[in-house]
Chain A
């Protein structure tokens, strides 16, 4: 049996699955001040009368990390940056407690300028005097050579063992220094709050005598062990949209290119699947205006949902971006698309009279009958979503490529079909399908899709091997691995090494795939002096099995 709990902004959904059947679901209100209690209650609801031994796994999806970042009430978090020459570091000195130190590493991971240890000691003691209790250390090209980040870390550990430290190169093997800085900073910010939360959950679940490993959902739609997540809590941001995407995946058989629509109260989240595999956000997740290197499933929000405010603006209908409350038909303060659905008989929730009262003045203003007006609202809603989807596809199709082969062979992504989930999914699916000209699927258990997605998600991991055989090494920064090689080391060997190292670290049978493999001969004079090799491997997000959903 698998247990999945998705802690959302308003509700916390829980689900119990055995093989391919849903045994039990639960929906309770989320108590943001006591998230651990919410989780425990949800758990109890599901397994009060079930023997603990029958539970194989528990996966949690939590908005905690996201909340800690978006609420913005940050603890004093220091940033030690080793940027070397380049872009003005003022552009990405995200923390008010940022110190720039000398030292630099170049694009091939060579140390160009050594650290000045006295300078570092001075700057750190200055930060600590200001009350900083955690530090992020981040160097340019530290993914190519983490030496200086590690040196700074050792220096801090020796003198101030109580300080929590995040190192940039641990968080991602990808290039992009400002993003690495943001990722390091945010990880540092949330680490303490996150650890506290995990401790509470552990305690609670221990009281319920769980023996099995507990997993947490990551932004990439995969899971990681709870304990491991305390080192990189930043990996759990945006796990809400990830749960929803994995839910869509588990509830449907997807073929071709699928657009996933999760219609919520305030927003509609748009995701993409190609032959049943969710797409990734190409560069990394953006959160609270910070751009990070955290890999997330592709998801874009449009401020247009079932509860969006409907108003007239200069003679035309405007939807959103604000939400005043629930739909008028449910006693809410203002007209919404949901009310229009009720008027048109597409939805049967709430009080139709209340819906009518809220929409009628607007219909009068535009000289339309109530039904005509409701039709207009729904048309506008569907059109807005269509335009957003077109924009997304246009952007995806114009992604830059760097080889002649890719430039000449890249195929345009075109949508083939649609999956709709969320509150008003059923009422809107027909209209959306017509507007988009796409056939649709409407999964039966879509109301608890997120919890299903969480419960069935599996371990994911990504890592990049970078080898410079003329300098005689390869390394995988995510695993803190650096080994010597000679100039015979080649692309095929590199692929084998990555696969082996990845497999070693994730105790799983999941398929490892190479998603990028490049090698360049290093020519100096007229001689080949070595090779630069870069190989990225991943265990992509997937499900053990889908749900019976006929």
Chain B
């Protein structure tokens, strides 16, 4: 009479039925209502080995060791964000403590569009739940933990990529609808990471109308081989569900079966919900599919009511494009350690770059100038100058000392902080020392 899960699965299901970004926003109370109904009706919570847990509330320290909130955390972050991030942390801790084999955090709002420096909400995300979780775990269990993200949301996971762009212990793989056709418009094959972690950022843009076939091809031929090589201690699936064929915001053709099969093969330690706004036709079925796959149970009979086999058909042109890019990325992965960084980044002591970041939710444009020290002994000190338009704050500077910082970079970081505080060039100066786990601010 009992259904026994093969893997012990912790479920942090927190639909936040009393919170919305705004009444008609996709990120509203109703988003996980039908998912809740489906989970309850399928009797998922009675399965032996599937255990439900409440989220914790993430602390201010958890946020500040991950982000630099401008002007400060209290002006940016509210309780629903802290609970969503706390749901991710709870999931991570359950797995690290061995209380469960795997955990799935079905939480909202999502996090993967939130960058290292935060001026507001973008892509419905304010703070990066999964990065906050990872930073929490690295503080607790050691920064040498090797982490791998596989982000399967239809949108490029530009936020998570940004946070780990120069972090050699974190591999970030994003599969998403081609940025030329969808927000945020980034995430191309050439984007392979910063000088301190070159090759640890992998982007596979998928053409619009890619089906399960293309997704699973990329999994078998790119993602799994890379993961085999990288050998992460913790594998996280940022499980966005907006590449479903019924999603109103995107143009992809993935089915619940495809999601479930991806999860069964990928076999992640953690899955964290991202986007997905086909709240009636996709989310109930996709989430149940992921839960069953993670628990090691039969998911073969999960199907959307309007599913028909033609959804799986993929045009040969799409297949060819994916095959070509998979090949390129595999080569890049294999050669990543032979690359001459100074030559590649066309610099000597510092690599500098500029970028604009658009916050669609908050309607802000941010200009950033990033400077990364090329260091043979660590990932290198990073300095970000940032100004948002419109902004009440003005220009800020963030100095970031990496987890594996060498003494020289640490010392340099402290000096840069003291120097930048003097004068009026920056309204606020921040020093985020990942190694010492502290955030200082001139404010």
**Interface residue ranges, A against B (CB under 8 Å):** 84-89, 91-92, 94, 104, 106-108, 112-113, 140-141, 175-179, 182, 283, 289-291, 398, 400-405, 407-408, 518, 520-523, 526-528, 532
Interface residues of B, dominant DSSP: loop
Interchain Cβ contacts under 8 Å between A and B, 12 examples: A86-B301, A87-B43, A176-B40, A177-B43, A182-B1, A400-B54, A407-B54, A408-B57, A521-B23, A521-B28, A521-B30, A528-B24
Q: Which residue of A lies closest to B25 (CB)?
A: A523
From B14-22, B68-76, B214-222, B326-334, the one touching the partner chain is: B14-22
Q: Which residue of A lies closest to B46 (CB)?
A: A291
Q: Which residue of A lies closest to B43 (CB)?
A: A178
B window 20-43: CB within 8 A of A: 23-24, 28-30, 33-34, 36-38, 40-43
A520 touching B29, Cβ below 8 Å: yes
Q: Does B298 contact A (CB under 8 A)?
A: yes
B19 touching A404, Cβ below 8 Å: yes
B18 touching A405, Cβ below 8 Å: yes
Q: Does B96 contact A (CB under 8 A)?
A: no
A403 touching B43, Cβ below 8 Å: no
Q: Which of A84, A85, A112, A400 contacts B52 (CB 8 A)?
A: A400
Q: Does B390 contact A (CB under 8 A)?
A: no
B305 touching A112, Cβ below 8 Å: yes
B79 touching A404, Cβ below 8 Å: yes
Q: Does B208 contact A (CB under 8 A)?
A: no
B302 touching A85, Cβ below 8 Å: yes
Report B322 CB to chain A, min CB distance, Å.
28
A112 to chain B: which residues have CB within 8 Å? 305
Q: Does B55 contact A (CB under 8 A)?
A: yes
Q: Which of B46, B302, B307 contacts A179 (CB 8 A)?
A: B46
Question: A-facing mask of B1-22, CB < 8 A → 1, else 0?
Answer: 1110000000001111111000
Instruction: List 18 additional A-B contacts (Cβ < 8 Å) besides A94-B1, A532-B30.
Output: A84-B305, A87-B297, A176-B46, A179-B46, A182-B1, A283-B46, A289-B2, A291-B1, A398-B54, A400-B52, A402-B14, A402-B17, A404-B80, A407-B83, A520-B29, A521-B30, A527-B24, A528-B24
Given contacts A104-B305, A398-B53, A521-B23, contact A88 B300 (CB under 8 A): yes
B46 to chain A: which residues have CB within 8 Å? 176, 178-179, 283, 291
A403 touching B53, Cβ below 8 Å: no
Q: Which of A88, A140, A402, A523 contacts B24 (CB 8 A)?
A: A523
A401 to chain B: which residues have CB within 8 Å? 54
Report B5 CB to chain A, min CB distance, Å.
11
Q: Which of B1, B52, B301 contacts A87 (CB 8 A)?
A: B301
Q: Which of B28, B37, B53 contacts A400 (CB 8 A)?
A: B53
A290 touching B23, Cβ below 8 Å: no
B30 to chain A: which residues have CB within 8 Å? 520-523, 532
Compute how far the CA of A32 lies from the CA of B120 in the bound complex, rounded to whole angstroms. 71
B13 to chain A: which residues have CB within 8 Å? 400, 402
Question: A-facing mask of B297-323, CB < 8 A → 1, else 0?
Answer: 110111111010000000000000000
B301 touching A92, Cβ below 8 Å: no
Compute how far the CA of A381 lies from the CA of B17 in the bound complex, rounded to whole angstroms. 44
A175 touching B41, Cβ below 8 Å: yes
Q: Does B133 contact A (CB under 8 A)?
A: no
B298 touching A88, Cβ below 8 Å: yes
Q: Does B262 contact A (CB under 8 A)?
A: no
B41 touching A107, Cβ below 8 Å: yes
Which one of A94, A178, A289 has the greatest number of beta carbons of chain B within 10 Å?
A178
B34 touching A108, Cβ below 8 Å: yes
Given contacts A94-B1, A141-B41, contact A520 B33 (CB under 8 A): yes
Number of residue pairs A-B, CB distance < 8 angstroms: 120
Q: Which of B3, B29, B307 contacts A521 (CB 8 A)?
A: B29
B window 265-301: CB within 8 A of A: 280, 284-285, 288, 292, 297-298, 300-301
Compute how far the CA of A204 lies from the CA of B265 in the bound complex, rounded to whole angstroms. 65
Q: Which of A85, A113, A404 contacts B301 (CB 8 A)?
A: A85
Compute how far the CA of A175 lies from the CA of B37 in the bound complex, rounded to whole angstroms. 7
B23 touching A88, Cβ below 8 Å: no
Given contacts A108-B34, A402-B36, contact A86 B302 (CB under 8 A): yes
Which one of A88, A398, A527, A528 has the greatest number of beta carbons of chain B within 10 Å?
A88
Compute how far the CA of A175 lies from the CA of B34 in the bound complex, rounded to whole angstroms. 12
Report A12 CB to chain B, min CB distance, Å.
30
Q: Which of A92, A107, A521, A526 contacts B37 (CB 8 A)?
A: A107
Compute how far the CA of A88 lies from the CA of B295 in the bound complex, rounded to whole angstroms. 14
A176 touching B43, Cβ below 8 Å: yes
Compute how far the CA of A290 lies from the CA of B38 in the bound complex, rounded to whole angstroms. 21
Question: A-facing mask of B70-105, CB < 8 A → 1, else 0?
Answer: 000000000110010000000000000000000000
B303 to chain A: which residues have CB within 8 Å? 85
Q: Which of A106, A290, A403, A532 contacts B18 (CB 8 A)?
A: A403
Given contacts A182-B1, A520-B29, contact A175 B40 (CB under 8 A): yes
Compute how far the CA of A200 lies from the CA of B277 in the bound complex, rounded to whole angstroms. 59
A518 touching B302, Cβ below 8 Å: no
Report B249 CB to chain A, min CB distance, Å.
12
Report A422 CB to chain B, min CB distance, Å.
30
A92 touching B43, Cβ below 8 Å: yes
A403 touching B40, Cβ below 8 Å: no
Compute how far the CA of A88 lies from the CA of B292 in the bound complex, rounded to whole angstroms. 10
Report A523 CB to chain B, min CB distance, Å.
5
B16 to chain A: which residues have CB within 8 Å? 402-404
A405 to chain B: which residues have CB within 8 Å? 18
A398 to chain B: which residues have CB within 8 Å? 53-54
B17 to chain A: which residues have CB within 8 Å? 402-403, 518, 520
B83 touching A85, Cβ below 8 Å: no
Report B82 CB to chain A, min CB distance, Å.
10
Given contacts A289-B1, A407-B83, contact A177 B305 (CB under 8 A): no
Q: Which residue of B lies closest to A532 (CB)?
A: B33
A521 to chain B: which residues have CB within 8 Å? 23, 28-30
Report A302 CB to chain B, min CB distance, Å.
20
